[in-house]
């Protein structure tokens, strides 16, 4: 598989049920796949780790095969690896709080969404679909023994300039990818967040129940 790195943008072509409160830090059902149940978003990256071409291609390939409305595939990826000028340009677009840790990542990926197709037709689900592509990338990274941290704290205009994004292609998120280093030093309060248990709201808080007036009357 061949792709161009650097400043080029890489383009690859509810049913109602009863719920109970679940523990906020683990899967009590025991049914989640380990790739999902063990996933975290650490900031403690291994500054010596290098992301090789094979691992990078696997991540992008996983994103490429994500579902999208009418197979529109609106996602676009600006790929940079630590040590490249493009990495520094994208790093400079990050907010200062993210710069405290993101420099140790092996790669920074700008994720953008094309808001219209080649005919100019608006793609209303572009950002939703792009999020699905990033989710696929994240799971593939977990399978490869890597970690991913998605961050929204960046200057979209500066990121767009770093990749000369055309009109209609909108930066959505920057994804930091690398190897986890549990011994990496982080300033507070980031270090405290790194040690905190992984938490989620219970299903009883998340699953919507149908409105009474929407249910058919019993016979």
**pLDDT of res. 76:** 98
How many Å apart are CA 155 and CA 200, to the nearest integer?
29
Beta pairing partners, 9: 78
Written as tens digits, the pLDDT of the chain (219 aa) is: 445 454 445 544 333 333 333 334 556 567 888 888 777 868 889 999 999 999 999 999 999 999 999 999 999 999 999 999 999 999 999 999 999 999 999 999 999 999 998 889 999 999 999 999 999 999 999 999 999 999 999 999 999 999 999 999 999 999 999 998 777 776 777 767 767 787 778 888 888 888 888 777 765
- What is the DSSP code string of the chain? -----TTSEE-------------SSS-TTS-S-HHHHT----S-B-TT----HHHHHHHHHHHHT---GGG---EEEEEEETTSHHHHHHHHTB-HHHHHHHTTSSEEEEEEEESB-TT--B-TTHHHHHHHHHHHHHHHHHHTT-EEEEE--B-HHHHHHHTTPPTTEEEEEEEEEE-B-TT----TTHHHHHHSPP----HHHHPPPPPGGGSPPP-
- Which CATH number describes the domain made up of 39-194? 3.40.109.10
What does the domain layout of the chain look like in residue ranges? 39-194
DSSP 8-state class, residue 71: G
**pLDDT of res. 191:** 66
Which residues, other chains included, contact 207 with Cβ-Cβ below 8 Å and sequence gap of 6+? 14, 17, 19
**pLDDT of res. 218:** 64
**pLDDT of res. 187:** 72
Residue owning tokens 């383009």:
11
**pLDDT of res. 63:** 98
**pLDDT of res. 192:** 72
**pLDDT of res. 27:** 63
């Amino acid at each position: 598989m061949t792709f161009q790195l650097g400043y080029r943008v890489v383009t690859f072509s509810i049913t109602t049920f009863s719920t109970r409160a679940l523990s906020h830090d683990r899967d009590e059902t025991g049914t989640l796949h380990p790739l999902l149940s063990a996933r975290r978003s650490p900031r403690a990256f291994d500054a010596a780790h290098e992301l090789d071409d094979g691992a990078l291609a696997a991540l992008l390939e996983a994103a490429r095969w994500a579902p999208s409305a009418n197979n529109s595939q609106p996602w676009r990826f600006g790929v940079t690896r630590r040590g490249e000028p493009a990495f520094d340009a994208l790093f400079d677009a990050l907010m200062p709080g993210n710069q405290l840790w993101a420099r140790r990542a092996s790669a920074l990926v700008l994720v953008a969404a094309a808001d219209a197709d080649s005919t100019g037709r608006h793609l209303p689900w572009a950002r939703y679909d792009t999020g699905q592509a990033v989710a696929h990338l994240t799971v593939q990274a977990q399978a490869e023994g890597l970690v991913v941290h998605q961050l929204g704290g960046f200057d979209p205009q500066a990121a767009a300039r770093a990749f000369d994004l055309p009109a209609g292609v909108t930066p959505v998120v920057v994804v930091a990818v690398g190897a986890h280093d549990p011994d990496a030093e982080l300033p507070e309060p980031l270090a405290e967040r790194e040690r905190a248990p992984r938490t989620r709201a219970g299903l009883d808080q998340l699953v919507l129940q149908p409105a009474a007036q929407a249910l058919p009357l019993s016979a």
